Structures are given as structure tokens and as C-alpha cells.
Structure 1
Amino acid sequence: MAYYYVNKNAQANGDHEVHTPGCSWMPQPENRIYLSDFLSCGPAVTAARQHYSQVNGCFYCSNTCHTQ
């Protein structure tokens, strides 16, 4: 299990990325929303879509949920 967060600030392409603690690209506390504790990034991305319509997994810490 891991804690997952979504970045409040969109990337240049409009994606709000999902991250786990320890990621080099983890947003600052004031720029992220805690999603929950999940077994994998899939449910975390689904949870992030309750906040934003355009969501993607981080290439570095949630790569299995990252789409190009």
C-alpha cells in the first residue's frame, strides 16, 4: 500500500499527475490533494478523476498508470 496524491497544478499539457511520497516530482504540500492509501496507482488515478477530468500517473513514481 502507498499514499497517493494528485497535483493541483496541471502540467503544460493539462494533466494533473498522481504521485507517491518520495517522488522527486512530488508537489509541495500546498499544491497537492491527498487521495488515499491504495495498492496500486490505478485506483488512485480513478480517485483523482473525482477532482480533475484530465489525470495521468507520474512517469517516475506511477509509471504503470502513465500514458503518453
Structure 2
Amino acid sequence: MIYFVNILPQSNGDHVIHTENCAHLPNMRQRTILGYFKTSMEAIEVAKKNYAKCNGCRDCSEAIYNNYN
């Protein structure tokens, strides 16, 4: 699965991780590609190298939603 991260943080400071097919995927100017990963845990590890606070999307990355910060 290809994962993206929202480059604009939410009001709580989280940068949200999304899959390529997510209905909530930000537009192209508001996201950056993380790459292809087997799991959302792998994707968030890469995202945390650039963003201190990350979280998974409740709909497409539920395995890491509110379980990682």
C-alpha cells in the first residue's frame, strides 16, 4: 500500500497518515508521499523522521490511530 502524510498539522499538532485510497486523503499540495509499506506502522516510522507528532487516519490507518504518539 502507498502511504502519504498530511504536511499541514491538525489543531492538536498531529500530521495524519493516509493510504492512497483514503476518502480523506489531502489534496496534492497538502501531502507528501511516504512510500510503499506493508503496514501503517512502517509508514508512521518514516513520517516521524520529519514530523514529531504523527497519527493514523481513523478510517484508513486504524491500526495506528491514537496508538502511536
Counterpart AA for 2:63: T
Instruction: Report the counterpart of residue 32 of structure 2 in structure 1.
Output: 33
Q: How far 1:51 moved relative to its partner?
A: 1.3
Q: Which runs of 4+ in 1 moved over 4 A?
A: none
The Cα offsets for residues 24-63 of structure 1, whole Å up to 9 and x where unpaired, read as 1101011111011000100100100111000001111000
- Tell me, in whole angstroms, the C-alpha distance in 1 between the residues paired with 2:58 and 2:6: 13
Instruction: Report the counterpart of residue 54 of structure 2 in structure 1.
Output: 55
Q: How far 1:19 moved relative to its partner?
A: 0.2
The alignment status of 1:6 with 2:19, answered yes or no, reads no
Instruction: Report the counterpart of residue 15 of structure 2 in structure 1.
Output: 16
**TM-score, scaled relative to structure 2:** 0.91
Percentage of identical aligned residues:
34
Deviates most, 37-46 or 21-30: 21-30
Q: Structure 2: where are the runs of 5+ without partners?
A: none
**TM-score, scaled relative to structure 1:** 0.93
CA RMSD, aligned part only? 1.0
- Tell me, in whole angstroms, the C-alpha distance in 1 between the residues paired with 2:29 and 2:50: 15
Q: Structure 1: where are the runs of 5+ without partners?
A: none
